[in-house]
């Protein structure tokens, strides 16, 4: 679940450097027309204190900021992914007070005082959560984009009512879409952690 490191530059840092140079080029080209750009609306910021993966977090946000964006853009916890941003794909799944929810439809301001767990919080002393290991062992992913959301759903499922069959797992995991089609591996991974054979 790390960003992968090559020559001391992470994938994210590389993307950021490239992104910044592209943006500054755009801004120079655009500088003569800035007067036509509507001024940004100023809305009062909200101070939100909550717990992320056992650590206190504080952000000062525009009320429009979602929990997903606060995690990714402010707290640099980029494991939770933005897929559809409309509650249809499950890539942004995190736990709030131990329950799986969609961070893209959760305003950051509503989690004040709450405990949030993200994919980054599943490991213990560097050891993968059994569900993470099971996804590796059972080929539960291909491109990996949906995987953090899949795993957060799968870990929550362990504490919910869900029948023993593969079809029960499919139903309980229906809120997480995988466009690579790794579903059979995902079902096998979840079943193995639950002690069932897929």
Partner 1 sequence: MQPFTFLTAIDEDAALAAAARATFLAGGTTLVDLMKLHVERPLALVDINALPLTEIAELPDGSLRVGAMVRNSDMARHELIGERYPLLAEALLSGASPQLRNMATTGGNLLQRTRCYYFRDTALPCNKRDPGSGCGAIDGYNRIHAVLGVSDQCIATHPSDMCVALAALDATVHVRGAHHERSIAFSDFHLAPGDHPEREHALQTGELIVSVDIPPLPFARRSTYVKVRDRASYAFALASAAVALDLENGTIREARVALGGVATTPWRSHEAEAALAGRRADPGVYHAAADAALSAAVPRRHNAFKIALAKRTLVRALARAGALA
Q: How far apart are CA 112 and CA 115, in angstroms?
A: 9
Among 44, 54, 181, 195, binds partner 1 (CB under 8 A): 44
Q: Considering the rule CB under 8 A, would residue 57 count as an interface residue with partner 1?
A: no
Q: Considering the rule CB under 8 A, would residue 93 count as an interface residue with partner 1?
A: yes
Torsion of CA 127, 76, 91, 151, to 10 degrees: 10
Burial 151-173 (b: 16+ CB within 10 A, else e): bbbbbbbeeeebeeebebbeebb
Provide the angle, in degrees to the nearest 10, between the axes of the packed helices 130-137 and 147-157. Answer: 120
Comparison of 77 and 154: residue with beta carbon closer to partner 1: 154
Region of 69-77, 134-142, 154-162, 184-192 interacting with partner 1 (CB under 8 A): 154-162
> Which 8-state DSSP code applies to residue 71?
I
Comparison of 109 and 182: residue with beta carbon closer to partner 1: 109
Among 99, 139, 158, 165, binds partner 1 (CB under 8 A): 99
Two tokens, residue 129: 């959560």
Q: Considering the rule CB under 8 A, would residue 101 count as an interface residue with partner 1?
A: yes
Provide the angle, in degrees to the nearest 10, between the axes of the packed helices 183-194 and 147-157. Answer: 30
Q: How far is the CB of 165 from partner 1 (least distance, A)?
A: 14
Helices (H), the chain: 11-30, 67-69, 130-137, 147-157, 166-172, 183-194
Q: How far is CA 65 from the centre of its chain?
A: 15
Q: Considering the rule CB under 8 A, would residue 63 count as an interface residue with partner 1?
A: yes
Region of 71-79, 116-124, 136-144, 151-159 interacting with partner 1 (CB under 8 A): 151-159
Region of 3-11, 128-136, 155-163, 186-194 interacting with partner 1 (CB under 8 A): 155-163
Q: Considering the rule CB under 8 A, would residue 43 count as an interface residue with partner 1?
A: yes
- Quickly count: other Cβ atoms within 10 Å of residue 3's Cβ: 14
Q: Considering the rule CB under 8 A, would residue 80 count as an interface residue with partner 1?
A: no
Task: Point out which residues bind partner 1 (CB under 8 A).
Answer: 41, 43-44, 46, 62-64, 66, 85-87, 90, 93, 99-102, 105-107, 109-110, 112, 153, 156-157, 160-161, 170-172, 174-176
């Amino acid at each position: 679940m790390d960003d992968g490191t090559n020559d001391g530059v992470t994938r994210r840092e590389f993307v950021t450097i490239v992104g910044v140079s592209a943006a500054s080029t755009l801004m120079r080209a655009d500088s003569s027309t800035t007067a036509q750009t509507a001024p940004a609306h100023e809305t009062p910021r909200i101070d939100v204190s909550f717990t992320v993966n056992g650590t206190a977090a504080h952000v000062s946000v525009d009320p429009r900021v979602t929990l997903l964006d606060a995690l990714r853009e402010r707290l640099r916890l980029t494991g939770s992914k933005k897929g559809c941003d409309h509650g249809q794909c499950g890539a942004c799944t995190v736990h709030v007070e131990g329950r799986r929810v969609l961070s893209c439809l959760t305003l950051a301001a509503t989690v004040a005082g709450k405990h949030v767990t993200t994919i980054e919080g599943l490991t213990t002393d560097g050891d993968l959560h059994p569900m993470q290991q099971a996804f590796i062992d059972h080929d539960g992913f291909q491109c990996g984009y949906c995987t953090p959301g899949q795993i957060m759903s799968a870990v929550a499922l362990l504490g919910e009512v869900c029948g023993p069959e593969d079809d029960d797992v499919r139903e309980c995991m229906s809120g997480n879409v995988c466009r690579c089609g790794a579903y059979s591996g995902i079902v096998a991974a979840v079943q193995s952690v639950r002690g069932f054979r897929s």
